Amino acid sequence: MARERRCAKGLGKWALVIGALLLVAAALLFNSIPGDLRGGAQEENREGGPEESAAASEAEAPDRAPGEPSDDDEPSPGETQGADKEQGDAKEKEQGAGEEEAEEEEWSPPRFEERQAERDKMARVIRAYGLADQAVLDAMAAVPRHKFVPAKHQARAHDDTPLPIGYGQTISQPYIVAEMTRRLKLTEDSRVLEIGTGSGYQAAVLTEFTPQVRTIEIIKPLADSARRRLKGLGYTVVKVRHADGYYGWADEAPFDAIIVTCAAGQIPPPLIKQLARGGRMVIPVGGPFATQTLMLVEKDEEGKVRSRSLMGVRFVPLRRRDVSE
Ligand code: SAH
């Protein structure tokens, strides 16, 4: 200390340097103590590591899949999971465990201001038909239907009418979309499968209730454009698959709700099988030129299946091959 004082008198510059050195030394000494203590805490975290890592890699795969352009082929989710396992270090996975789960829970559908007045009017028309379920009306007022129809039909996008979407297919009439959605009695935990993605509009409406939405389209260009459209608009949780929806999506079954938006000659047995106990399916049944009936199929807790007809409808047929090939 005496030397420090002498330096301070004679050489102001040196005093500053020595002072700084002393400060650094003091800081190092001080830090070493809490550093040791923290070491103990880190050890505890590491003990919990391996279990959490396993949970994380499981949680990562399903969340990552929807964002991928090619989630229409079955092997990819497994492959992705394998790659994740190799890459991630323990720390990343530790974070993932909580975050990935939280992400699905916290996901909320995108919002659009454009053309809100038209959508509100559309919801009022649906209400006038007698559909009073406010959650369904809100969903219809939220999804921008004009983004799902070809440019030349955009002016009529919010009229209560079906519109062409190419390849001889149509986006369903808004009232029918609303009524079918209502019949599913969705909750935020429902796992839903749609057969007949078309434009992706119905799938987007479903995400207003639950983030767990899967949809299958048999016409490849429609499946591809719907996947792009949904992702582009922010409906990132929807998984779109190009396949024959007659067989459902066995890997992702069971489903609490199944909605078929094309008319089948009979209810496809694989779909009944993939319906969860307590689950509900809405499906138009009947030939393309015959009267079709919208059916509600319910599977009770014992696995017993009952179906009843709801109303007469007109849908494009459920086909067994891709007409674009
Ligand atoms: N839900 C759509 C409209 C559906 S139109 C929307 O919101 O835009 C019916 C769709 O079912 C068409 O796109 C048609 O190609 C598709 N489709 C017909 N048969 C199918 C099948 N076997 N599997 C999957 N999709 C099918």
Ligand 1 mean position, distance from CA 195 (Å): 6
Ligand 1 mean position, distance from CA 197 (Å): 5
Residues 6+ apart with CB under 8 A from 86: none
Q: Residue 31: what pLDDT?
A: 42
Nearest protein Cα to ligand 1, atom 10: 196
**What type of residue is 229?**
R
**Residue 126 vs residue 102, higher pLDDT:** 126
User: Which tens digits make up the pLDDT trace of 37-57?
Assistant: 333 233 223 333 333 333 333
> Residue 315, CB half-sphere, CA atoms under 13 Å: how many?
30
Q: 198 in ligand 1 pocket by Cβ < 6 Å?
A: yes
Q: Which atom of ligand 1 is nearest to the CA of 222?
A: 13
Summary mean pLDDT of the chain: 78
Q: Residue 55: what pLDDT?
A: 30
Residues 6+ apart with CB under 8 A from 131: 137, 175, 178, 179, 182
**Residue 138 vs residue 106, higher pLDDT:** 138
Q: Residue 325: what pLDDT?
A: 82
**DSSP assignment of 247-274, as one string?**
G--GGG--EEEEEE-SBBSS--HHHHHH
Q: Which atom of ligand 1 is nearest to the CA of 219?
A: 15
**Residue 200 vs residue 26, higher pLDDT:** 200
Which 3 state secondary structure label does DSSP give 193?
strand
- Say yes or no to pLDDT of 199 above 60: yes
Q: Residue 119: what pLDDT?
A: 98
Structural domain contains residue 140:
no
Q: Residue 47: what pLDDT?
A: 30
Q: Residue 12: what pLDDT?
A: 58
Q: 318 in ligand 1 pocket by Cβ < 6 Å?
A: yes
Ligand 1 mean position, distance from CA 261 (Å): 6
- Say yes or no to pLDDT of 139 above 90: yes
d(C-alpha 238, C-alpha 216), whole Å: 11
Q: Residue 15: what pLDDT?
A: 57
Structural domain contains residue 227:
yes
Q: Residue 18: what pLDDT?
A: 56
Structural domain contains residue 202:
yes
Q: Residue 132: what pLDDT?
A: 98
Structural domain contains residue 151:
no
What is the extent of the structural domain holding 229? 162-313
**What type of residue is 181?**
T
Residue identified by tokens 């880190």 is: 42
Ligand 1 mean position, distance from CA 131 (Å): 24
Nearest protein Cα to ligand 1, atom 18: 318
d(C-alpha 211, C-alpha 186), whole Å: 11
Domain count, the chain: 1
Q: What percent of the chain has pLDDT over 90?
A: 65
Ligand 1 mean position, distance from CA 277 (Å): 25
**Residue 4 vs residue 322, higher pLDDT:** 322
The two most distant CA atoms of the chain are separated, in Å, by: 108
Structural domain contains residue 225:
yes
Q: Which atom of ligand 1 is nearest to the CA of 165?
A: 8
d(C-alpha 186, C-alpha 208), whole Å: 10
| 138's tokens | 């809100």
Which 3 state secondary structure label does DSSP give 110?
coil
Q: Residue 163: what pLDDT?
A: 97
Most confident of 15-24, 36-45, 271-280, 283-292: 271-280
262, 314, 325: residue to mutate for ligand 1 pocket, most atoms within 8 A of CB = 262
Q: Residue 323: what pLDDT?
A: 86
- Say yes or no to pLDDT of 250 above 70: yes
- Say yes or no to pLDDT of 272 above 90: yes
Structural domain contains residue 115:
no
Structural domain contains residue 306:
yes
Instruction: Look up 172 and say whether it is catalytic.
Output: yes
The catalytic residue among 32, 70, 76, 172 is 172
Nearest protein Cα to ligand 1, atom 4: 198
Q: 218 in ligand 1 pocket by Cβ < 6 Å?
A: yes
Paired sense of beta strands 213-217 and 192-195, if any: parallel
Q: Residue 19: what pLDDT?
A: 56
| 84's tokens | 């994740």
Q: What is the pTM of this model?
A: 0.72
**Residue 223 vs residue 65, higher pLDDT:** 223
- 75-98: average pLDDT: 35
> CATH number, domain at 208?
3.40.50.150
d(C-alpha 90, C-alpha 163), whole Å: 51
Structural domain contains residue 169:
yes
| 23's tokens | 């400060």
